[in-house]
Structure 1
Amino acid sequence: MGRTDGDCVGRAERVEVWSTVGVFTAVAFVAAGVLGAAQPGTGVPDEVVQLTQFGPALAVGGAALYRRRQTRELLRGTGTRGGARSAGGVVLLGAAGLIVALAVLGYDAVCGQVRFTPPGSLHHSFVLIAVAQLVGACEEEVGWRCYLQPLLRTRLGTVASSVTVGVLWGAWHVPVFGQAPAYAAGFLAATVAMSVVLGIALEGVGGWRRLLLAGGFHALVNLGLLLFMDEESGAVLPMVCFGLACLAVAVIVGALRAGWRAPDPAAPGPATLHRT
Protein backbone atom coordinates (compact mmCIF):
# COMPACT_ATOMS: atom_id res chain seq x y z
CA MET A 1 0.00 0.00 0.00
CA GLY A 2 1.23 3.51 -0.75
CA ARG A 3 1.72 6.22 1.79
CA THR A 4 -1.28 8.32 2.70
CA ASP A 5 -1.31 12.09 3.00
CA GLY A 6 -1.63 11.62 6.77
CA ASP A 7 1.59 9.59 6.86
CA CYS A 8 3.45 12.30 4.98
CA VAL A 9 2.09 15.04 7.22
CA GLY A 10 2.97 13.06 10.37
CA ARG A 11 6.51 12.47 9.13
CA ALA A 12 6.92 16.15 8.25
CA GLU A 13 5.75 17.16 11.73
CA ARG A 14 8.21 14.76 13.36
CA VAL A 15 11.06 16.13 11.27
CA GLU A 16 10.01 19.68 12.10
CA VAL A 17 9.94 19.03 15.85
CA TRP A 18 13.25 17.18 16.06
CA SER A 19 15.06 19.62 13.77
CA THR A 20 13.85 22.46 16.00
CA VAL A 21 15.09 20.58 19.07
CA GLY A 22 18.48 20.32 17.35
CA VAL A 23 18.61 24.05 16.60
CA PHE A 24 17.60 24.98 20.14
CA THR A 25 20.13 22.61 21.73
CA ALA A 26 23.00 23.74 19.51
CA VAL A 27 22.39 27.42 20.25
CA ALA A 28 21.96 26.75 23.98
CA PHE A 29 25.31 24.97 24.20
CA VAL A 30 27.22 27.52 22.12
CA ALA A 31 25.65 30.52 23.89
CA ALA A 32 26.42 29.06 27.33
CA GLY A 33 30.05 28.47 26.36
CA VAL A 34 30.47 32.02 25.07
CA LEU A 35 28.75 33.58 28.09
CA GLY A 36 30.75 31.44 30.51
CA ALA A 37 34.00 32.50 28.89
CA ALA A 38 32.93 36.15 28.95
CA GLN A 39 31.80 36.25 32.60
CA PRO A 40 35.24 36.87 34.20
CA GLY A 41 35.63 39.98 32.08
CA THR A 42 32.25 41.40 33.07
CA GLY A 43 32.91 41.53 36.80
CA VAL A 44 29.58 39.80 37.56
CA PRO A 45 30.22 37.44 40.52
CA ASP A 46 29.27 33.78 40.08
CA GLU A 47 27.71 33.86 43.56
CA VAL A 48 25.13 36.38 42.32
CA VAL A 49 24.30 34.94 38.90
CA GLN A 50 26.02 32.86 36.23
CA LEU A 51 25.72 34.35 32.76
CA THR A 52 25.50 30.87 31.26
CA GLN A 53 21.92 30.80 32.57
CA PHE A 54 20.99 33.18 29.77
CA GLY A 55 21.99 30.59 27.16
CA PRO A 56 18.58 28.85 26.92
CA ALA A 57 16.80 32.18 26.49
CA LEU A 58 19.13 33.00 23.60
CA ALA A 59 18.41 29.53 22.21
CA VAL A 60 14.70 30.39 22.16
CA GLY A 61 15.62 33.44 20.10
CA GLY A 62 17.61 31.26 17.73
CA ALA A 63 14.72 28.82 17.41
CA ALA A 64 12.37 31.75 16.73
CA LEU A 65 14.45 32.66 13.69
CA TYR A 66 13.96 29.08 12.51
CA ARG A 67 10.29 28.60 13.46
CA ARG A 68 8.85 31.97 14.41
CA ARG A 69 5.15 31.09 14.59
CA GLN A 70 5.83 27.81 16.33
CA THR A 71 7.96 29.55 18.97
CA ARG A 72 5.27 32.14 19.63
CA GLU A 73 2.63 29.44 20.11
CA LEU A 74 4.81 27.45 22.50
CA LEU A 75 5.63 30.43 24.70
CA ARG A 76 2.00 31.51 24.83
CA GLY A 77 0.88 28.00 25.70
CA THR A 78 -1.23 27.67 22.56
CA GLY A 79 -2.62 24.17 22.26
CA THR A 80 -1.83 23.26 25.87
CA ARG A 81 -3.81 20.22 26.95
CA GLY A 82 -6.46 20.76 29.57
CA GLY A 83 -6.69 23.58 32.08
CA ALA A 84 -4.05 24.76 34.48
CA ARG A 85 -3.73 22.55 37.51
CA SER A 86 -4.46 24.61 40.60
CA ALA A 87 -2.23 22.30 42.62
CA GLY A 88 0.80 22.77 40.37
CA GLY A 89 2.22 25.80 42.20
CA VAL A 90 1.74 24.24 45.62
CA VAL A 91 3.36 21.01 44.46
CA LEU A 92 6.39 22.83 43.07
CA LEU A 93 6.91 24.98 46.16
CA GLY A 94 6.63 21.94 48.39
CA ALA A 95 8.87 19.89 46.10
CA ALA A 96 11.64 22.53 46.15
CA GLY A 97 11.67 22.64 49.94
CA LEU A 98 11.49 18.86 50.23
CA ILE A 99 14.42 18.35 47.85
CA VAL A 100 16.65 20.63 49.92
CA ALA A 101 15.45 19.11 53.20
CA LEU A 102 16.07 15.52 52.06
CA ALA A 103 19.50 16.41 50.69
CA VAL A 104 20.46 18.05 53.98
CA LEU A 105 19.12 15.13 56.03
CA GLY A 106 21.00 12.65 53.85
CA TYR A 107 24.22 14.59 54.23
CA ASP A 108 23.70 14.80 57.98
CA ALA A 109 23.01 11.06 58.21
CA VAL A 110 26.38 10.30 56.62
CA CYS A 111 28.55 13.07 58.07
CA GLY A 112 26.73 13.80 61.31
CA GLN A 113 26.58 17.52 60.68
CA VAL A 114 24.41 20.08 58.96
CA ARG A 115 26.18 22.78 56.99
CA PHE A 116 24.58 26.22 57.10
CA THR A 117 25.88 29.44 55.60
CA PRO A 118 24.21 32.45 57.26
CA PRO A 119 22.89 34.84 54.59
CA GLY A 120 24.77 37.69 56.24
CA SER A 121 28.10 35.91 55.73
CA LEU A 122 27.77 35.85 51.95
CA HIS A 123 29.95 38.21 49.95
CA HIS A 124 26.92 39.98 48.53
CA SER A 125 23.48 40.98 49.75
CA PHE A 126 21.23 37.94 50.04
CA VAL A 127 18.33 39.97 48.63
CA LEU A 128 20.43 40.80 45.57
CA ILE A 129 21.42 37.16 45.20
CA ALA A 130 17.82 35.97 45.57
CA VAL A 131 16.55 38.38 42.91
CA ALA A 132 19.42 37.57 40.57
CA GLN A 133 18.88 33.84 41.09
CA LEU A 134 15.21 34.20 40.17
CA VAL A 135 16.08 36.16 37.04
CA GLY A 136 18.74 33.63 36.05
CA ALA A 137 16.42 30.71 36.75
CA CYS A 138 13.69 32.25 34.60
CA GLU A 139 16.20 32.79 31.79
CA GLU A 140 16.95 29.07 31.90
CA GLU A 141 13.37 27.94 32.28
CA VAL A 142 12.00 30.02 29.42
CA GLY A 143 14.11 27.70 27.31
CA TRP A 144 13.85 24.34 29.06
CA ARG A 145 10.33 24.33 30.48
CA CYS A 146 8.49 27.03 28.50
CA TYR A 147 9.86 26.14 25.09
CA LEU A 148 11.61 22.77 24.81
CA GLN A 149 9.27 20.82 27.12
CA PRO A 150 6.06 21.91 25.33
CA LEU A 151 7.74 21.29 21.98
CA LEU A 152 8.67 17.71 22.89
CA ARG A 153 5.25 17.26 24.51
CA THR A 154 3.72 17.47 21.02
CA ARG A 155 5.46 14.17 20.20
CA LEU A 156 6.03 12.45 23.56
CA GLY A 157 4.18 11.82 26.81
CA THR A 158 4.68 13.90 29.94
CA VAL A 159 7.32 11.69 31.56
CA ALA A 160 9.19 10.88 28.33
CA SER A 161 9.41 14.53 27.30
CA SER A 162 10.47 15.51 30.83
CA VAL A 163 13.23 12.90 30.92
CA THR A 164 14.48 14.03 27.51
CA VAL A 165 14.62 17.66 28.63
CA GLY A 166 16.30 16.60 31.88
CA VAL A 167 19.06 14.75 30.03
CA LEU A 168 19.70 17.72 27.72
CA TRP A 169 19.55 20.13 30.67
CA GLY A 170 22.10 18.06 32.56
CA ALA A 171 24.40 17.61 29.55
CA TRP A 172 24.24 21.37 28.95
CA HIS A 173 26.14 21.84 32.25
CA VAL A 174 29.33 20.72 30.50
CA PRO A 175 31.84 21.55 33.32
CA VAL A 176 30.05 19.11 35.64
CA PHE A 177 31.40 16.22 33.59
CA GLY A 178 34.94 17.24 34.40
CA GLN A 179 34.27 16.25 38.02
CA ALA A 180 34.34 12.74 39.51
CA PRO A 181 32.00 10.25 37.78
CA ALA A 182 29.84 9.91 40.93
CA TYR A 183 29.48 13.71 41.06
CA ALA A 184 28.38 13.87 37.40
CA ALA A 185 25.99 10.94 37.91
CA GLY A 186 24.42 12.62 40.94
CA PHE A 187 23.99 15.85 39.02
CA LEU A 188 22.44 14.15 35.99
CA ALA A 189 20.06 12.23 38.27
CA ALA A 190 19.05 15.56 39.80
CA THR A 191 18.35 17.31 36.49
CA VAL A 192 16.32 14.41 35.12
CA ALA A 193 14.34 14.00 38.35
CA MET A 194 13.66 17.74 38.71
CA SER A 195 12.61 17.87 35.08
CA VAL A 196 10.07 15.11 35.75
CA VAL A 197 8.75 17.00 38.80
CA LEU A 198 8.40 20.17 36.72
CA GLY A 199 6.88 18.35 33.76
CA ILE A 200 4.19 16.72 35.90
CA ALA A 201 3.36 19.80 37.97
CA LEU A 202 3.25 22.12 34.95
CA GLU A 203 1.17 19.87 32.70
CA GLY A 204 -1.64 22.05 31.37
CA VAL A 205 0.01 25.29 32.55
CA GLY A 206 1.14 27.81 29.95
CA GLY A 207 2.35 31.36 29.44
CA TRP A 208 3.77 33.57 32.18
CA ARG A 209 2.38 31.39 34.97
CA ARG A 210 4.44 28.47 33.68
CA LEU A 211 7.58 30.60 33.57
CA LEU A 212 7.15 32.01 37.07
CA LEU A 213 6.39 28.63 38.60
CA ALA A 214 9.33 26.91 36.90
CA GLY A 215 11.68 29.82 37.64
CA GLY A 216 10.52 30.00 41.26
CA PHE A 217 11.10 26.28 41.80
CA HIS A 218 14.53 26.48 40.19
CA ALA A 219 15.56 29.54 42.22
CA LEU A 220 14.35 28.07 45.52
CA VAL A 221 16.39 24.91 44.97
CA ASN A 222 19.49 26.94 44.05
CA LEU A 223 19.13 29.18 47.11
CA GLY A 224 18.60 26.19 49.38
CA LEU A 225 21.76 24.55 48.08
CA LEU A 226 23.68 27.81 48.47
CA LEU A 227 22.76 28.04 52.15
CA PHE A 228 22.86 24.39 53.19
CA MET A 229 25.14 22.44 50.86
CA ASP A 230 28.64 22.73 49.39
CA GLU A 231 28.21 20.77 46.14
CA GLU A 232 29.68 23.70 44.17
CA SER A 233 33.07 22.86 45.69
CA GLY A 234 33.16 19.63 43.70
CA ALA A 235 32.59 17.46 46.79
CA VAL A 236 30.92 14.23 45.73
CA LEU A 237 28.76 13.42 48.77
CA PRO A 238 26.60 16.58 48.71
CA MET A 239 25.90 16.13 45.01
CA VAL A 240 24.99 12.47 45.44
CA CYS A 241 22.68 13.39 48.33
CA PHE A 242 21.12 16.07 46.15
CA GLY A 243 20.59 13.67 43.25
CA LEU A 244 19.01 11.03 45.48
CA ALA A 245 16.76 13.66 47.10
CA CYS A 246 15.55 14.78 43.67
CA LEU A 247 14.82 11.19 42.66
CA ALA A 248 12.83 10.60 45.86
CA VAL A 249 10.74 13.73 45.30
CA ALA A 250 10.13 12.77 41.66
CA VAL A 251 8.73 9.42 42.85
CA ILE A 252 6.48 11.22 45.36
CA VAL A 253 5.20 13.69 42.76
CA GLY A 254 4.64 10.84 40.33
CA ALA A 255 2.53 9.09 42.96
CA LEU A 256 0.57 12.29 43.62
CA ARG A 257 -0.10 12.59 39.92
CA ALA A 258 -2.31 9.51 40.10
CA GLY A 259 -4.50 11.32 42.61
CA TRP A 260 -5.04 14.38 40.45
CA ARG A 261 -8.12 14.69 38.30
CA ALA A 262 -7.91 12.31 35.37
CA PRO A 263 -7.91 14.03 31.95
CA ASP A 264 -11.12 14.16 29.99
CA PRO A 265 -11.28 11.01 27.82
CA ALA A 266 -12.55 13.19 25.01
CA ALA A 267 -9.56 15.53 25.24
CA PRO A 268 -7.29 15.51 22.19
CA GLY A 269 -3.79 14.07 22.25
CA PRO A 270 -0.61 16.15 22.25
CA ALA A 271 -1.13 19.39 20.38
CA THR A 272 -0.01 19.78 16.77
CA LEU A 273 1.69 23.10 16.18
CA HIS A 274 1.16 25.24 13.13
CA ARG A 275 4.07 25.48 10.74
CA THR A 276 5.71 28.74 9.84
Structure 2
Amino acid sequence: MRSWGWKAEAGVFLGVAFVAAGVFGAVQPATGIPPEVVQLTQFGPAVAVLALAVLWPARIRRRLTGTPRADTRGARAGAPAGWLLLTAPLITALSAGAYALVHAGPVFTDPRALSHPFLLVALAQWVGACGEELGWRCLLQPLLRTRFGPLTASVLVGLVWGVWHVGVFTRPPAYAAGFLAATVAMSVVLGLALERIRKGRLLLTGGFHALVNLGMLLFMDEESGAVVPMLLFGAASLAAAALWAVRAGARTPGVTIAAARHSAL
Protein backbone atom coordinates (compact mmCIF):
# COMPACT_ATOMS: atom_id res chain seq x y z
CA MET A 1 0.00 0.00 0.00
CA ARG A 2 2.87 2.34 0.78
CA SER A 3 4.28 2.20 -2.74
CA TRP A 4 1.06 3.01 -4.58
CA GLY A 5 -1.07 4.67 -1.92
CA TRP A 6 -0.44 8.20 -3.18
CA LYS A 7 -1.36 7.10 -6.70
CA ALA A 8 -4.63 5.65 -5.43
CA GLU A 9 -5.43 8.93 -3.69
CA ALA A 10 -4.62 10.94 -6.80
CA GLY A 11 -6.60 8.58 -9.04
CA VAL A 12 -9.72 8.65 -6.89
CA PHE A 13 -9.47 12.40 -6.46
CA LEU A 14 -9.17 13.09 -10.18
CA GLY A 15 -11.88 10.61 -11.12
CA VAL A 16 -14.40 12.09 -8.70
CA ALA A 17 -13.42 15.70 -9.50
CA PHE A 18 -13.99 15.20 -13.23
CA VAL A 19 -17.25 13.25 -12.84
CA ALA A 20 -18.67 15.57 -10.18
CA ALA A 21 -17.89 18.63 -12.31
CA GLY A 22 -19.67 17.04 -15.27
CA VAL A 23 -22.74 16.26 -13.17
CA PHE A 24 -22.83 19.76 -11.69
CA GLY A 25 -22.52 21.28 -15.14
CA ALA A 26 -25.41 19.16 -16.41
CA VAL A 27 -27.78 20.02 -13.55
CA GLN A 28 -26.95 23.73 -13.24
CA PRO A 29 -29.58 24.87 -15.80
CA ALA A 30 -32.27 23.14 -13.75
CA THR A 31 -31.19 24.89 -10.54
CA GLY A 32 -31.74 28.39 -11.93
CA ILE A 33 -28.34 29.53 -10.62
CA PRO A 34 -26.84 31.88 -13.23
CA PRO A 35 -23.42 30.66 -14.46
CA GLU A 36 -22.17 34.24 -14.56
CA VAL A 37 -22.63 34.37 -10.77
CA VAL A 38 -21.12 30.98 -9.94
CA GLN A 39 -20.49 27.81 -11.91
CA LEU A 40 -21.41 24.70 -9.95
CA THR A 41 -18.65 22.77 -11.71
CA GLN A 42 -16.22 24.60 -9.42
CA PHE A 43 -17.36 22.41 -6.54
CA GLY A 44 -16.28 19.19 -8.25
CA PRO A 45 -12.84 19.19 -6.54
CA ALA A 46 -14.46 19.81 -3.15
CA VAL A 47 -16.69 16.75 -3.64
CA ALA A 48 -13.56 14.75 -4.52
CA VAL A 49 -11.95 15.84 -1.25
CA LEU A 50 -15.01 14.64 0.66
CA ALA A 51 -14.85 11.29 -1.12
CA LEU A 52 -11.21 10.82 -0.15
CA ALA A 53 -11.94 11.89 3.42
CA VAL A 54 -14.40 8.99 3.67
CA LEU A 55 -11.87 6.49 2.31
CA TRP A 56 -8.72 7.73 4.09
CA PRO A 57 -9.79 10.13 6.86
CA ALA A 58 -6.49 10.35 8.77
CA ARG A 59 -4.37 10.61 5.65
CA ILE A 60 -6.54 13.27 4.04
CA ARG A 61 -6.56 15.25 7.26
CA ARG A 62 -2.74 15.36 7.01
CA ARG A 63 -2.91 16.42 3.37
CA LEU A 64 -5.17 19.34 4.19
CA THR A 65 -2.68 20.67 6.72
CA GLY A 66 -0.30 21.41 3.84
CA THR A 67 3.16 20.42 2.67
CA PRO A 68 5.53 18.39 4.90
CA ARG A 69 6.37 20.27 8.05
CA ALA A 70 10.05 20.61 7.14
CA ASP A 71 9.06 22.58 4.04
CA THR A 72 7.64 25.48 6.03
CA ARG A 73 10.38 25.97 8.62
CA GLY A 74 11.37 29.59 8.83
CA ALA A 75 8.28 30.70 6.89
CA ARG A 76 6.97 34.20 7.46
CA ALA A 77 3.20 34.02 7.06
CA GLY A 78 2.55 37.66 6.25
CA ALA A 79 5.02 38.29 3.44
CA PRO A 80 4.17 35.40 1.04
CA ALA A 81 0.44 35.85 1.67
CA GLY A 82 0.60 39.53 0.80
CA TRP A 83 2.73 38.94 -2.29
CA LEU A 84 0.35 36.21 -3.42
CA LEU A 85 -2.70 38.47 -3.26
CA LEU A 86 -0.81 41.27 -5.02
CA THR A 87 0.16 38.91 -7.83
CA ALA A 88 -3.48 38.53 -8.92
CA PRO A 89 -3.96 42.23 -9.85
CA LEU A 90 -0.46 42.18 -11.37
CA ILE A 91 -1.57 39.44 -13.78
CA THR A 92 -4.70 41.43 -14.60
CA ALA A 93 -2.71 44.63 -15.14
CA LEU A 94 -0.20 42.94 -17.44
CA SER A 95 -2.95 41.20 -19.40
CA ALA A 96 -5.21 44.25 -19.69
CA GLY A 97 -2.33 46.61 -20.46
CA ALA A 98 -1.05 44.47 -23.29
CA TYR A 99 -4.56 43.95 -24.60
CA ALA A 100 -5.20 47.69 -24.59
CA LEU A 101 -2.17 48.15 -26.86
CA VAL A 102 -3.31 45.40 -29.23
CA HIS A 103 -6.96 46.41 -29.06
CA ALA A 104 -6.21 50.11 -29.60
CA GLY A 105 -7.82 50.98 -26.30
CA PRO A 106 -8.68 49.52 -22.89
CA VAL A 107 -11.49 47.03 -22.42
CA PHE A 108 -13.58 47.64 -19.33
CA THR A 109 -16.91 46.29 -18.12
CA ASP A 110 -18.63 48.61 -15.69
CA PRO A 111 -19.60 46.53 -12.62
CA ARG A 112 -22.96 48.32 -12.63
CA ALA A 113 -23.61 46.88 -16.08
CA LEU A 114 -23.47 43.30 -14.85
CA SER A 115 -26.74 41.39 -14.72
CA HIS A 116 -26.31 40.85 -10.97
CA PRO A 117 -24.93 43.07 -8.16
CA PHE A 118 -21.15 43.11 -8.26
CA LEU A 119 -20.87 42.34 -4.54
CA LEU A 120 -22.91 39.17 -5.06
CA VAL A 121 -20.78 38.19 -8.05
CA ALA A 122 -17.54 38.82 -6.12
CA LEU A 123 -18.69 36.78 -3.12
CA ALA A 124 -19.92 33.94 -5.32
CA GLN A 125 -16.65 33.98 -7.28
CA TRP A 126 -14.69 33.62 -4.05
CA VAL A 127 -16.88 30.77 -2.77
CA GLY A 128 -16.59 28.97 -6.10
CA ALA A 129 -12.83 29.52 -6.18
CA CYS A 130 -12.54 28.03 -2.69
CA GLY A 131 -14.51 25.01 -3.93
CA GLU A 132 -11.79 24.45 -6.51
CA GLU A 133 -8.79 25.31 -4.36
CA LEU A 134 -9.84 22.95 -1.59
CA GLY A 135 -9.01 20.21 -4.08
CA TRP A 136 -6.22 21.61 -6.23
CA ARG A 137 -4.03 23.44 -3.76
CA CYS A 138 -5.15 22.14 -0.36
CA LEU A 139 -5.14 18.44 -1.26
CA LEU A 140 -3.56 17.59 -4.62
CA GLN A 141 -0.60 19.96 -4.20
CA PRO A 142 0.42 18.58 -0.77
CA LEU A 143 -0.15 15.05 -2.06
CA LEU A 144 2.21 15.51 -5.02
CA ARG A 145 4.71 17.32 -2.80
CA THR A 146 5.27 14.03 -0.98
CA ARG A 147 6.81 12.68 -4.21
CA PHE A 148 8.05 15.72 -6.16
CA GLY A 149 9.72 19.06 -5.62
CA PRO A 150 7.62 22.24 -5.38
CA LEU A 151 8.04 23.30 -9.01
CA THR A 152 7.30 19.88 -10.50
CA ALA A 153 4.30 19.37 -8.22
CA SER A 154 2.94 22.80 -9.12
CA VAL A 155 3.32 22.22 -12.87
CA LEU A 156 1.54 18.85 -12.61
CA VAL A 157 -1.34 20.37 -10.64
CA GLY A 158 -1.55 23.20 -13.17
CA LEU A 159 -1.77 20.79 -16.09
CA VAL A 160 -4.52 18.78 -14.43
CA TRP A 161 -6.32 21.98 -13.45
CA GLY A 162 -6.24 23.16 -17.05
CA VAL A 163 -7.34 19.84 -18.56
CA TRP A 164 -10.17 19.69 -16.01
CA HIS A 165 -11.67 22.71 -17.83
CA VAL A 166 -12.64 20.40 -20.69
CA GLY A 167 -14.79 23.05 -22.38
CA VAL A 168 -11.65 25.01 -23.22
CA PHE A 169 -10.71 22.34 -25.75
CA THR A 170 -13.76 23.09 -27.85
CA ARG A 171 -12.09 26.44 -28.66
CA PRO A 172 -9.23 27.02 -31.17
CA PRO A 173 -5.93 25.30 -30.25
CA ALA A 174 -4.20 28.63 -29.60
CA TYR A 175 -6.93 29.55 -27.10
CA ALA A 176 -6.52 26.24 -25.28
CA ALA A 177 -2.73 26.66 -25.29
CA GLY A 178 -3.01 30.12 -23.75
CA PHE A 179 -5.37 28.80 -21.10
CA LEU A 180 -3.09 25.88 -20.22
CA ALA A 181 -0.12 28.26 -19.98
CA ALA A 182 -2.14 30.37 -17.54
CA THR A 183 -3.23 27.46 -15.33
CA VAL A 184 0.29 26.03 -15.14
CA ALA A 185 1.83 29.44 -14.44
CA MET A 186 -0.73 30.37 -11.78
CA SER A 187 -0.29 26.94 -10.21
CA VAL A 188 3.45 27.65 -9.95
CA VAL A 189 2.70 30.97 -8.24
CA LEU A 190 0.32 29.30 -5.80
CA GLY A 191 2.55 26.30 -5.20
CA LEU A 192 5.63 28.40 -4.42
CA ALA A 193 3.61 30.68 -2.17
CA LEU A 194 2.21 27.73 -0.24
CA GLU A 195 5.73 26.55 0.53
CA ARG A 196 5.92 29.41 3.03
CA ILE A 197 2.33 29.79 4.20
CA ARG A 198 1.24 27.92 7.30
CA LYS A 199 -2.31 29.13 7.91
CA GLY A 200 -5.29 30.30 5.90
CA ARG A 201 -4.27 28.33 2.82
CA LEU A 202 -7.80 27.91 1.49
CA LEU A 203 -8.79 31.54 2.09
CA LEU A 204 -5.64 32.84 0.41
CA THR A 205 -5.65 30.54 -2.61
CA GLY A 206 -9.37 31.11 -3.05
CA GLY A 207 -8.79 34.84 -2.78
CA PHE A 208 -6.05 34.78 -5.43
CA HIS A 209 -8.21 32.66 -7.74
CA ALA A 210 -11.25 34.91 -7.30
CA LEU A 211 -9.25 38.12 -7.82
CA VAL A 212 -7.89 36.80 -11.10
CA ASN A 213 -11.37 35.76 -12.24
CA LEU A 214 -12.85 39.15 -11.33
CA GLY A 215 -10.00 41.01 -13.00
CA MET A 216 -10.53 39.08 -16.22
CA LEU A 217 -14.29 39.65 -15.98
CA LEU A 218 -13.88 43.42 -15.75
CA PHE A 219 -10.86 44.10 -17.95
CA MET A 220 -10.71 41.34 -20.57
CA ASP A 221 -13.11 39.58 -22.95
CA GLU A 222 -11.50 36.17 -23.32
CA GLU A 223 -14.81 34.51 -22.37
CA SER A 224 -16.07 35.50 -25.83
CA GLY A 225 -13.67 32.94 -27.30
CA ALA A 226 -11.25 35.56 -28.62
CA VAL A 227 -7.78 34.06 -28.89
CA VAL A 228 -5.62 37.17 -28.40
CA PRO A 229 -6.78 38.05 -24.85
CA MET A 230 -6.35 34.45 -23.73
CA LEU A 231 -2.82 34.32 -25.13
CA LEU A 232 -2.00 37.58 -23.36
CA PHE A 233 -3.48 36.22 -20.15
CA GLY A 234 -1.26 33.16 -20.46
CA ALA A 235 1.81 35.31 -21.13
CA ALA A 236 1.07 37.58 -18.16
CA SER A 237 0.64 34.55 -15.89
CA LEU A 238 3.96 33.12 -17.11
CA ALA A 239 5.67 36.43 -16.33
CA ALA A 240 4.25 36.38 -12.80
CA ALA A 241 5.36 32.77 -12.33
CA ALA A 242 8.89 33.68 -13.48
CA LEU A 243 9.04 36.42 -10.85
CA TRP A 244 8.00 33.95 -8.16
CA ALA A 245 10.50 31.36 -9.34
CA VAL A 246 13.34 33.90 -9.26
CA ARG A 247 12.24 35.14 -5.86
CA ALA A 248 12.03 31.63 -4.45
CA GLY A 249 15.43 30.62 -5.81
CA ALA A 250 17.44 28.41 -3.53
CA ARG A 251 15.14 29.19 -0.60
CA THR A 252 12.49 26.80 -1.88
CA PRO A 253 13.33 23.52 -0.14
CA GLY A 254 12.97 20.18 -1.85
CA VAL A 255 11.37 17.28 -0.09
CA THR A 256 13.85 14.59 0.89
CA ILE A 257 13.26 10.97 0.00
CA ALA A 258 12.86 10.07 3.64
CA ALA A 259 10.31 12.83 4.19
CA ALA A 260 8.42 11.84 1.09
CA ARG A 261 8.21 8.24 2.18
CA HIS A 262 7.12 9.21 5.67
CA SER A 263 4.40 11.58 4.36
CA ALA A 264 3.10 9.00 1.89
CA LEU A 265 2.31 6.49 4.65
Is the Cα contact below 8 Å between 2:146 and 2:255 reproduced in 1? Answer: no
* Larger deviation, residues 25-34 vs 110-119: 110-119
Structure 2 equivalent of residue 113 of structure 1: 105
Is the Cα contact below 8 Å between 2:146 and 2:264 reproduced in 1? Answer: no
Distance in 1, Cα, partners of 2:217 & 2:3? 41
The answer to whether residue 158 in structure 2 is matched with residue 166 in structure 1 is yes
2:185 paired residue among 184, 187, 193: 193
Distance in 2, Cα, partners of 1:92 & 1:129? 22
Structure 1 equivalent of residue 243 of structure 2: 252
Shift of 1:38: 0.6
Structure 2 equivalent of residue 3 of structure 1: none
Letter in 2 for 1:254: A
| Structure 1 consecutive aligned stretches of length 4 or more whose deviation exceeds 6 Å | none
Shift of 1:210: 0.7
The answer to whether residue 81 in structure 2 is matched with residue 92 in structure 1 is no
1:250-270 Cα deviation digits (max 9, x unpaired): 0011111128x565999x744
Distance in 1, Cα, partners of 2:191 & 2:249? 14
The answer to whether residue 47 in structure 2 is matched with residue 52 in structure 1 is no
TM-score, scaled to structure 1: 0.89
Judging changes above 3 Å, is the alpha-carbon distance between structure 1 residues 125 and 177 closer, same or farther for their aligned structure 2 residues?
A: same
1:206-260 Cα deviation digits (max 9, x unpaired): 45x111110000000000001001111111111111011101110011111128x
* Larger deviation, residues 104-113 vs 144-153: 104-113
Work out which of the two has the higher radius of gyration on C-alpha atoms and give 1 or 2: 1
Is the Cα contact below 8 Å between 2:5 and 2:264 reproduced in 1? Answer: no
Aligned positions of 1:1-276 closer than 5 A:
12-77=1-66, 79-80=68-69, 81-83=71-73, 84-86=75-77, 87-206=79-198, 209-258=200-249, 269-270=259-260, 272-273=262-263, 275=265
* Larger deviation, residues 148-157 vs 198-207: 198-207
Shift of 1:143: 0.3
Shift of 1:78: 7.4
Q: Secondary structure at the match of 2:206?
A: helix
Is the Cα contact below 8 Å between 2:53 and 2:60 reproduced in 1? Answer: yes
Is the Cα contact below 8 Å between 1:69 and 1:274 reproduced in 2? Answer: no
1:9-43 Cα deviation digits (max 9, x unpaired): xxx43411111101100000000000001111111
Gaps of 5+ in 1: 1-11
Is the Cα contact below 8 Å between 1:197 and 1:253 reproduced in 2? Answer: yes
Q: Secondary structure at the match of 1:258?
A: helix
Aligned sequence identity (%): 56
Judging changes above 3 Å, is the alpha-carbon distance between structure 1 residues 113 and 18 closer, same or farther for their aligned structure 2 residues?
A: same
RMSD of the TM alignment (CA)? 2.1
* Larger deviation, residues 239-248 vs 85-94: 85-94
Residues matched between the structures, number: 262
Gaps of 5+ in 2: none
Letter in 2 for 1:88: P
Distance in 1, Cα, partners of 2:152 & 2:173? 25
Distance in 2, Cα, partners of 1:214 & 1:262? 19
Letter in 2 for 1:125: P
Judging changes above 3 Å, is the alpha-carbon distance between structure 1 residues 44 and 102 closer, same or farther for their aligned structure 2 residues?
A: same
Distance in 1, Cα, partners of 2:190 & 2:162? 14
* Larger deviation, residues 46-55 vs 82-91: 82-91
Distance in 2, Cα, partners of 1:204 & 1:92? 11
TM-score, scaled to structure 2: 0.93
